[in-house]
Amino acid sequence: MNVLITGGAGYIGTKLVYTLEKESSINSIVVYDNFSRDNYNLFLGRSKLNSKKISLVKGSILDSRKLKIEIDKADVVYHLAAKVTTPFADHNPQEFDQTNNWGTAELTHLIENSKVSKFIYVSSVSVYGASEKDADLLTLPNPKTFYGISKLNAEKHVARLKNHPIKTYTLRLGNVYGYSKSMRFDSVINKFMFEANFRNHIRIYGDGNQMRSFIHIDRLSKLLKDFALSDTLKPAIYNLVEGSYSVNDIAAKLKEVYPDLELTYLTQNIKMRSLKVKPDARISDLITFKETNLKNDLTEFKTYFSF
């Protein structure tokens, strides 16, 4: 099996490369990335990857000619490349639309005319927008940000493959947290962990009751692997979340890990948008949600900091 990962050097991509590299059924992994975040950590460290199995192609998701060369060699394509931001940020609409929407449109067109057998598109629960009620797959998407809009528009391009022989999966991810060599510190838990560890102080916007849905990067990477290797998972849209916490819930667990942690509430009188998504029962056999323990995850995360 030959695998192509767009955005393969990013936060999730790096973890996924290490997960897939261990699989004997995978012959090659192409990391396709434009390094817009200047993150080269995939290529550093003492944990060695099989250089005969993994190769790098530096390129844009909008470079159709270069992308086609790699797609024509692939059996499975993971599409992680995206202009990414925190779930409720709202800026740079043209960048989101160009990369997330039209970049996915071009990729989908190339895959449609290839020998690719599986296409795994990583979307976001941001397509649901904000709601006080629990969202699930029956909830109509109603994105509130340019990021969410661009991801939903991209899903529509992917949906064109529904009646195509290519097995196509759209995975709506919750907030991803946890250690990866190619870290992101702009998502809520990762940001709080950094500030708690090095500053002993976190800032909370609003009253802290706003909800978010999450999934740990280790368990996410294993799920992504399963979508490539499993013959039983039906092509469809999936919600990949483990559980939902309020910002205050996260802060309380952080206080258990860092007992002297100080909290500051900013704009406490402003009600922040919430989004709570139900775990997808169809993948409950692949990941044991009931064993998820946020405090344990945060305690383990702490061990990865150098001081």
pLDDT > 70: percent of the chain? 95
Q: β-strands 243-246, 262-266: how paired?
A: unpaired
Average pLDDT over residues 229-244: 94
Alpha helix (H) ranges present in the chain? 11-21, 64-71, 93-96, 103-112, 146-158, 188-199, 217-229, 247-257, 294-303
Q: Is the pLDDT of residue 260 over 90?
A: yes
- Whether pTM > 0.85 for this model: the answer is yes
Average pLDDT taken over every residue of the chain = 92
β-partners of residue 202 are: 263
Residue 91 pLDDT > 70: no
Amino acid identity for residue 86 in this structure:
T
Mean pLDDT of 258-282: 93
Distance of CA 280 to the CA centre of its chain: 16
Give the model's confidence band at 212: pLDDT under 50 very low, under 70 low, under 90 confident, else very high.
Answer: very high
| Distance separating alpha carbons of residues 221 and 197, to the nearest angstrom | 25
Q: Which residues pair with 213 in a beta bridge?
A: 244
The residue type of 45 is: G
Q: How far apart are CA 85 and CA 94, in angstroms?
A: 14
Does the pLDDT of residue 287 top 70, yes or no? no
Q: What is the 3-state secondary structure (H, E, C) of 155-195?
A: HHHHHHHCCCCCEEEEEEECEEECCCCCCCCCCHHHHHHHH
Tell me the domains of the chain and their CATH numbers.
2-176+213-242 (3.40.50.720), 179-212+244-277+288-303 (3.90.25.10)
**What average pLDDT score do residues 144-153 get?**
92
The pLDDT of 258-276, averaged and rounded, is 93
- Average pLDDT in the 251-270 region? 95
Of 87-101, 138-152, 161-175, 263-277, which range is least confident? Answer: 87-101
pLDDT of residue 96: 85
| Mean pLDDT of the region 47-73 | 94
What's residue 285's pLDDT?
75
For residue 187, the model assigns a pLDDT of 92
Q: How many other CB atoms sit within 10 Å of the CB of residue 303? A: 7
Per-residue model confidence (pLDDT) at position 114: 95
pLDDT at 123: 97
